Amino acid sequence: MKKTILRTLTLIMGLVFCGAGCNLFRPDPVPEPNEVGVTINGVVWATRNVGSVGTFVAYPESAGMFYQWNRKVAWPSTGPVTGWNETNASGYDWTTGNDPCPPGWRMPTKAEFEKLVASGSVWTTVGGINGRRFGSGANTIFLPALGRRGYTGAHIEDGTDGNYWCSNPADDSFASGFGFNSLFGNSFASYGKSQGLSCRCVRK
């Protein structure tokens, strides 16, 4: 009886200090090997962003890390950074050796992102984080709008825009990326290779 009362009081205090946007009943984080992905238009997408190299973050709305195009170096998605590399990586496709995705996964192509867009999407909020949900029915994924880091490493557009790398195509200075926001929906654009964007993997 005392344990039940204690748990109830703990829950009430948690709600008071956590606020309305906090979810105390969320499931435990998905262990790394248990990420099976979601199939949307024939492509198996991971449900979470890339965190540090070779790992996924704990939850679909978790930020993860930013990466420069074709570089296997993780940068924080918030706060200032030092040592930012302002040069452009070479190459015209994201090479396997520089892929930050966990084993069994890889960076998506522009064509695969186009299939994702074709599945439909809606601007929404998960765990207090803005973003877009793609797909329909039970087969959906949430991409958080985390902004990006510019050419000098400065963080911009947090909470209003989502920016994700495509593995190809690219030229000497720019590479293809997928972007979205609440006002203009989804779009594809060329981003400078030295900018930092989010990464969402697909199954090999």
Question: pLDDT, tens digit, for every residue of 139-159?
Answer: 999 999 999 999 999 999 878
pLDDT computed for residue 12 by the predictor: 38
- Tell me which amino acid residue 140 is: T
d(CA 129, CA 137): 21
22-76 confidence digits (pLDDT tens): 444 455 666 566 789 999 999 999 999 999 999 999 999 999 999 999 999 999 9
Interatomic CA distance for residues 60 and 135, integer angstroms = 14
Per-domain residue ranges for the chain? Answer: 39-203
What residues pair up with 202 in beta bridges, in sequence order?
A: 45, 106
